[in-house]
């Protein structure tokens, strides 16, 4: 193996397995090969995330400048708050996108983790930069088309960013946090937040704009659900792998989530030979799903993973803050 790549792999992937500080550990060819594969998976997924978030940024910016801004329509969530304040005060939208989302980024660091908060901060900064510097044509002045397609492109942008492991609207982070504290569903929290936003739009702008803005929100939310393949607030994940113990430890130690392990049999081949195997089941939020898939791929690229939508959960660790190590 090239000495340069060997040093990179040791520093980025294998260093946590080294001996005590100040000592050198010699890695076997097998360990270096495993480290290289893990490094390759990380870089590949990071590149995919970058592409998805970039597409999401440009889609959302097009929704803003090509449709919503000229008609003063707003959306729900943090983007809706930014659009509303911009319409009332004439403060540039790109400034408000950063200022309004700062508390949500800090909350995301506390609730979800450092990597998510960093990705989200970069995604929101990128969105603000594109809104400030890139020109988009004003597509139409028809109110209904503005509401529908403005919401479509904005929802697609948010959904693509979520697929990339970040968000460009921090309201969902607040909803996750409050749902854990209050014991309510994420959907209920988001509804209450949006009722306040649209009520403010009706009072400060006009009832007509508020009603069209609700159409924008519905279009955005449906598009978002479509882009992220209909994933609800929580996702149940069943993992069948010959490395089930390593998968279990990864979920507990890296994601801070609980798991259920039950014994089963797997049949394969022409004879249908059955073998005993431990099956791992866990429940994560959709914001954690991207990281879980990446970590599973590092351990076993041939793992059979089944994901199912879950409307809500009660008890366990899913609504609690993951413990730190």
Segment-wise mean pLDDT, segments of 10 residues, the chain, 325 residues: 64 56 60 75 87 94 90 86 89 93 90 88 94 90 92 92 86 80 74 88 90 91 76 79 91 88 76 78 86 90 87 62 45
Q: Could you tell me if 201 and 72 are in contact, meaning their C-beta atoms sit under 8 angstroms apart?
A: no
Please enumerate, as own/partner, the contacts of 174-182 that have beta carbons within 8 Å and a separation of 24 or more.
174/104, 174/107, 176/111, 176/112, 176/285, 176/287, 177/107, 177/110, 177/111, 179/319, 180/111, 180/319, 180/320, 180/321
pLDDT reported for residue 116 = 87
- Same domain for 62 and 144, yes or no, is yes
Domain total of the chain: 2
Query: Of 227, 243, 268, which one is at a domain's C-terminal end?
Result: 227
pLDDT reported for residue 181 = 79
pLDDT reported for residue 23 = 46
Asked if residue 268 is part of any domain, the answer here is yes
Asked if residue 240 is part of any domain, the answer here is yes
pLDDT reported for residue 13 = 67
pLDDT reported for residue 308 = 86
pLDDT reported for residue 20 = 46
pLDDT reported for residue 22 = 44
- Same domain for 51 and 168, yes or no, is yes
- Same domain for 207 and 250, yes or no, is no
* Cα dist from 23 to 9, 15, 17, 53, 319, whole Å: 17, 11, 12, 40, 41
Look up the domain containing 86 and give its range: 46-227
Question: Distance between CA 220 and CA 280 in Å, rounded?
Answer: 35
């Amino acid at each position: 193996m090239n000495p340069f790549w060997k040093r990179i792999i040791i520093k980025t992937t294998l260093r946590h397995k080294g001996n005590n500080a100040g000592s050198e550990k010699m890695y076997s060819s097998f360990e270096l090969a495993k480290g290289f594969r893990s490094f390759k998976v990380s870089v590949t997924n990071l590149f995919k995330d970058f592409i998805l978030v970039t597409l999401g940024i440009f889609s959302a910016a097009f929704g803003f400048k090509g449709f919503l801004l000229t008609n003063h329509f707003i959306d729900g969530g943090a983007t809706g708050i930014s659009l509303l304040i911009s319409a009332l005060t004439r403060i540039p939208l790109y400034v408000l996108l950063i200022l309004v989302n700062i508390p949500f980024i800090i909350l995301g660091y506390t609730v979800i983790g450092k990597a998510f908060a960093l990705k989200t901060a970069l995604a929101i900064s990128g969105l603000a930069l594109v809104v400030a510097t890139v020109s988009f044509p004003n597509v139409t002045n028809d109110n209904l088309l503005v509401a529908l397609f403005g919401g479509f492109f904005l929802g697609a942008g948010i959904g693509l960013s979520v697929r990339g492991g970040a968000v460009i609207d921090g309201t969902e982070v607040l909803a996750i946090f409050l749902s854990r504290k209050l014991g309510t569903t994420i959907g209920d929290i988001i509804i209450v937040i949006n009722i306040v936003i649209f009520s403010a739009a009706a009072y400060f702008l006009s009832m007509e704009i508020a009603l069209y803005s609700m159409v924008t929100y519905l279009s955005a939310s449906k598009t978002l659900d479509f882009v992220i393949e209909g994933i609800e607030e929580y996702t149940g994940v069943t993992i069948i792998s010959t490395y089930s113990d390593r998968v279990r430890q990864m979920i507990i130690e890296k994601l801070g989530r609980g798991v259920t392990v039950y014994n089963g049999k797997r049949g394969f081949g022409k004879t249908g030979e059955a073998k005993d195997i431990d099956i791992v089941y866990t429940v994560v939020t959709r914001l954690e799903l991207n990281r879980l898939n990446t970590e599973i791929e590092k351990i076993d690229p041939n793992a059979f993973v089944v994901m199912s939508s879950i409307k809500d959960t009660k008890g366990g660790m899913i609504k609690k803050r993951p413990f730190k190590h």
